[in-house]
């Protein structure tokens, strides 16, 4: 997690200040009786938004710096956020069910096996009416062909580059096949705007957005 620690130390909002629009559009449909799990919470833009709106949140994030940044803001504002500094593979849920699970910007940095294992765990961690929020990247990404040509393929559309960075891309509409038993509240795939994170290079992503209901 050294890379995330470094970029979170240098910038307060590496992935922007605002929460993803699909969360803003759908959060009022989340049942407030169980907490929400934010997996790979980063610097907390989603956990903090939900806590500010009166939801109890558990932020799971391996980056020490990310967790400290969330903790500082949560403490200053007395926000109800429980922090779990760990990797997804070591995570033990604290409650029987979560009313929603946020998976923003995570699938593309997991291996295919980790994605399969997460999908299985979601069946245990959610109950009827729970919502699952996802953003990820598809094979329509402008850099996809160069990954395919230059990098080591370690799984289906999943590559490790020369610096050891892993990227996994889903095919168009594959997300719907991965969550076949859920009701689809929202699904959109599109080419996003050019942008950069912190001081990083310009990027353009083929974005996948989905909101599922158990
Ligand atoms: C692209 S960032 C997205 C952060 C946040 N969800 C957002 O949208 O602002 C991905 C985050 O996932 C975390 N992460 C990476 N691998 C993880 C894993 N195996 N388990 C849990 N979190 C992980 C990283 O530390 C990083 O903060």
Q: What is the pLDDT of residue 200?
A: 66
Per DSSP, the residues of 157-204 read TEEE-TT--EEE-BPTTHHHHHSTTSEEEEEEEEE---B-STTPPPB-
Position 199 pLDDT exceeds 90: no
Distance CA 143, CA 203 (A): 9
Exposed/middle/buried for residue 119 (C-beta within 10 Å: 0-12, 13-18, 19+): middle
Angle at 63 between CA 189 and CA 193, to 5 degrees: 25
Q: What is the pLDDT of residue 1?
A: 57
Position 112 pLDDT exceeds 70: yes
Instruction: Count how many residues are written for the chain.
Output: 214
Task: Look at the alpha carbons of 160, 19, 42, 59 in this order and tell me if their dihedral is positive or negative.
Answer: negative
Q: What is the pLDDT of residue 143?
A: 87
Helix H, strand E, coil C: the string for 119-147 is HHHHHHHEEEEEEEEEEEEECCCCCHHHH
Distance from the CA of 110 to the center of ligand 1, in angstroms? 9
Distance from the CA of 63 to the center of ligand 1, in angstroms? 8
Average of pLDDT values for 99-122? 97
Q: What is the pLDDT of residue 72?
A: 97
Q: For strand 152-155 and strand 158-160, is the pairing parallel, antiparallel, or unpaired?
A: antiparallel
Average of pLDDT values for 127-141? 96
Distance CA 125, CA 131 (A): 11
Average of pLDDT values for 148-172? 94
Six-digit token string for 138: 């598809």
Average of pLDDT values for 37-53? 98
Q: What is the pLDDT of residue 2?
A: 61
Distance CA 185, CA 23 (A): 12
Average pLDDT across the chain, whole number: 94
In the chain, the domains with their CATH numbers are 2-213 (3.40.50.150)
Ligand 1 atom nearest 42 alpha carbon: 27
The residue whose C-alpha atom lies closest to atom 22 belonging to ligand 1 is 40
The residue whose C-alpha atom lies closest to atom 8 belonging to ligand 1 is 104
Q: pLDDT tens-digit profile of 63-99? A: 999 999 999 999 999 998 999 999 999 999 999 999 9
Q: What is the pLDDT of residue 3?
A: 87
**Ligand 1 pocket mutation pick from 22, 58, 62 by most atoms within 8 angstroms of CB:** 62
Average of pLDDT values for 45-74? 97
Distance from the CA of 128 to the center of ligand 1, in angstroms? 26
Position 39 pLDDT exceeds 60: yes
Q: What is the pLDDT of residue 128?
A: 94
The residue whose C-alpha atom lies closest to atom 4 belonging to ligand 1 is 42
């Amino acid at each position: 997690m050294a890379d995330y620690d470094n970029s979170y130390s240098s910038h307060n909002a590496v992935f922007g200040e605002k929460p993803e629009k699909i969360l803003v559009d759908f959060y009022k449909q989340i049942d407030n009786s169980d907490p929400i799990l934010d997996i790979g919470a980063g610097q907390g833009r989603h956990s903090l938004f939900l806590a500010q709106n009166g939801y109890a949140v558990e932020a799971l994030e391996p980056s020490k710096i990310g967790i400290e940044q969330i903790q500082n803001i949560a403490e200053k504002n007395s926000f109800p956020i429980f922090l779990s500094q760990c990797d997804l593979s070591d995570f033990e849920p604290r409650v029987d069910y979560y009313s929603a699970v946020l998976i923003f910007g995570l699938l593309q940095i997991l291996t295919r096996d980790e994605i399969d294992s997460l999908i299985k765990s979601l069946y245990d961690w959610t109950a009827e009416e729970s919502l699952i929020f996802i953003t990820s990247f598809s094979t329509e990404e402008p850099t996809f062909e160069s990954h395919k040509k230059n990098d080591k393929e370690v799984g289906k559309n999943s590559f490790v580059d020369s610096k050891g960075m892993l990227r996994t891309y889903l095919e168009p509409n594959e997300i719907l096949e991965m969550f076949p038993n859920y009701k689809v509240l929202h699904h959109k795939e599109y080419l996003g705007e050019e942008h950069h994170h912190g001081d990083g290079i310009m990027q353009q992503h083929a974005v996948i957005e989905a909101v599922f209901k158990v």
